[in-house]
Amino acid sequence: MEKRDPPIEKLGDILDKSLKRLDLSSRLMEYEVWPIWNETVGPMIARNAQPEKIRHGTLFVRVSSPVWVQQLQYMKETLAEKLNQGLKREVVKNVFFFIGKVEAEISGQKPESVESPAHTEPNFDEETLRSVKDPQIRRALKRLFNAHSRKRK
């Protein structure tokens, strides 16, 4: 009887089987949020909030100040919905915001450290709102900015 060598498998096939066995593919799909974050939320939010990690459908987002945490808290369901629409499946089930130093890279610009609104008061005018492409997010931000300005008076 002659001994036969096992058939040679392609490396891609082996890796695919390993990923399926380890169930890493679903975890890797979660990280598809990063490439679409800035475009989905718009430059104003992206300068003040960046995703940090995602665990079991909860996206942890680093935010530049308590003011932004409060404003984004009201928008978290809309943000999750828009991210999931961009991914064409439900990946983000919840969003958790926490305060930290935000380094944002917006449309090819160098990363910049974002100042807290305590140091610089943001200018919430119509031109700034026009930079947010999504109409639902833009309306929500406008309501929040109007409420914030009434509160400060």
Distance between CA atoms of 13 and 19, rounded to whole angstroms? Answer: 10
What Å distances lie between residue 89 and 26, 57, 82, 95, 132, CA to CA? 12, 12, 11, 16, 23
- For residue 129, report the phi and psi dihedrals to the nearest 5 degrees: -65, -30
pLDDT at 151: 64
Quickly count: other Cβ atoms within 10 Å of residue 19's Cβ: 14
pLDDT at 121: 44
Quickly count: other Cβ atoms within 10 Å of residue 63's Cβ: 23
Distance between CA atoms of 114 and 49, rounded to whole angstroms? Answer: 9
Q: Which domains does the chain have, with CATH numbers?
A: 32-152 (3.30.300.180)
Distance between CA atoms of 76 and 81, rounded to whole angstroms? Answer: 8
Walk along the chain (153 residues) and give the pLDDT tens digit of each residue: 667 777 788 888 887 777 677 766 666 677 789 999 999 999 999 999 999 999 989 999 999 999 999 999 999 999 999 999 999 999 999 999 999 999 866 554 444 444 444 444 455 567 667 777 788 887 887 777 777 676 665
